[in-house]
Amino acid sequence: MLRQVSGKQDDGRWVMPAAERNKGPILEVLKRVLPPSGLILEVGSGTGQHVVHFAHALPGLTWQPSDPDAELRESVRVWVAEAKLGNVRAPVGIDVCRWPWAVTRADAVISINMIHVAPPSATAALVSGAAQLLAAGGVLYLYGPYRRHGRHTAPSNEAFDAQLRLQNPEWGLRDVEEVERLACEAGFGPAEVIDMPSNNLSLVFRRT
């Protein structure tokens, strides 16, 4: 039994309450936008809570978790082993700003709560890298808090943005319109923007 509410557990897993809260609403979007079969690359898998939840609910898909942090990759391995899932590959190290990636093709790419804890160059690298992996019609799914037209959508998001920028001036919430511009330049169509709980958004792009 896990003895901690959040953070690192005795067995090596990391558990984050936010991932427990948002995995259900995210899954409902993924059920609609992902293909019925194929390889799904998760960029920035973090603790592993998401990929285990998605892989259990969508067994027809093969899931490839990734993270640049070795400790988090170990957390993913423990989560997957505990869940006894056969449709999740071993996590690989991917830094979106370093090409080539450890994966050369995918049927969809998802990234959850990543781009606001990375420099702006990581957003461009993520969408351009995904474009190289995906065939026409392939999905790029991004989730997290965003600004709209240069403005925050809620006071809590504004406070979160300020907190992030205090930790690192290059971090912070990105504008939906800027992410969409970068994605279109990389070869994606316009974003489908979906309102999510807690003032978050899902952005769904399709490779043209």
What is the per-residue pLDDT across 28-60, written as a single tens digit (0 to 9) for each? 999 999 999 999 999 999 999 999 999 999 999
**pLDDT tens per residue across span 158-175:** 999 999 999 999 999 999
Residue 9's pLDDT band (boundaries 50, 70, 90)? Answer: confident
Range with the lowest mean pLDDT among 15-19, 66-70, 111-115, 119-123?
A: 15-19
pTM metric for this prediction: 0.95
What pLDDT was estimated at residue 49? 97
Domains of the chain and CATH, by start: 7-206 (3.40.50.150)
Residue 193: φ, ψ to 5°: -105, 125
What pLDDT was estimated at residue 6? 54
* Cβ atoms of 12 and 39 closer than 8 Å: no
What pLDDT was estimated at residue 8? 76
